[in-house]
Amino acid sequence: NVIGLSGISFGMLGTFATAGFDILTAVQAATLLGAGGFAGYKIAQKVGPTELPQTVAAFHSLVGLAACATAAGDFAHHAAAGDTLDTFHNVAIYGGMVIGSITATGSVIAFGKLNGNLGSAPLALPMRDPLNVGMGAMTLAAGAGFLTGSPATAAACLAVGAVVPGALGAHMTASIGGADMPVVITLLNSYSGWALCSEGFMMDKPLL
């Protein structure tokens, strides 16, 4: 925990040091960080050792949502400015959105199964494998449209890149039994790391 907290703290300090925030922006960021840290601390005080897996899943859903929000915000910022982004930057935006969406919805389902809000039995929809393949194909097709289309088309494709992977993440996680959720959470944890790597490329922040 100490190592993880130290890594996050140094990362935030490095971001503040290199971003060149004005005073107002720095105060806003510090306020949000303080509020989030306080909320996390209070939640952690109420969680017992046996409830840690679902707590981790719940927090990772927020990581996924943050990745989606960052991708959408970066796209909207550059679109409003009329910037022409290179392919690598666009891939980072779309990748961050897709991975973040899968992480968010999958983590919510994992939390529900572990916390008893959802049944632990695996969901068995008819033709679930073709359904997963179809959603994966839609995600790839929307990615191609995002990279090659007009700004309006790219915005629509980015929305598809949020909704369809979200449905895919929820369905794949729901199709796994509750006893295997700790393994799923570990996998989703790795996804959140990839989402952050993608956003590091997006925002040109090597530290991420």
Rounded mean pLDDT, 73-97: 89
In a domain, 208, yes or no: no
**153/191 same-domain check:** yes
Determine the structural domain holding residue 60 and report its residue range: 50-202
Helix H, strand E, coil C: the string for 60-84 is HHHHHHHHHHHHHHHHHHHHHHCCC
**30/84 same-domain check:** no
For residues 1 and 126, give the distance between their C-alpha atoms in angstroms, rounded to a whole number.
43
- 13-16 contacts, C-beta under 8 A, 24 or more apart: 14/207, 15/205, 15/207
Specify whether the CB–CB gap between 184 and 120 falls below 8 A. no
- Residue 62 burial class via C-beta count within 10 angstroms: exposed 0-12, middle 13-18, buried 19 and up: middle
Looking at the whole model, is its pTM more than 0.75?
yes
Per-residue pLDDT of 151-206, as tens digits, reads 899 999 999 999 999 999 999 999 998 888 888 888 888 887 787 787 777 777 66
How high is the pLDDT of residue 110?
92
Measured from the Cβ of residue 39, the count of other Cβ atoms closer than 10 Å reads 10
How many domains does the structure of the chain reveal? 2
Per-residue pLDDT of 1-15, as tens digits, reads 678 778 777 877 777
**144/126 same-domain check:** yes
- Dihedral, CA atoms, 162, 168, 170, 171, nearest 10 degrees? 160
Widest distance between CA atoms in the chain: 56
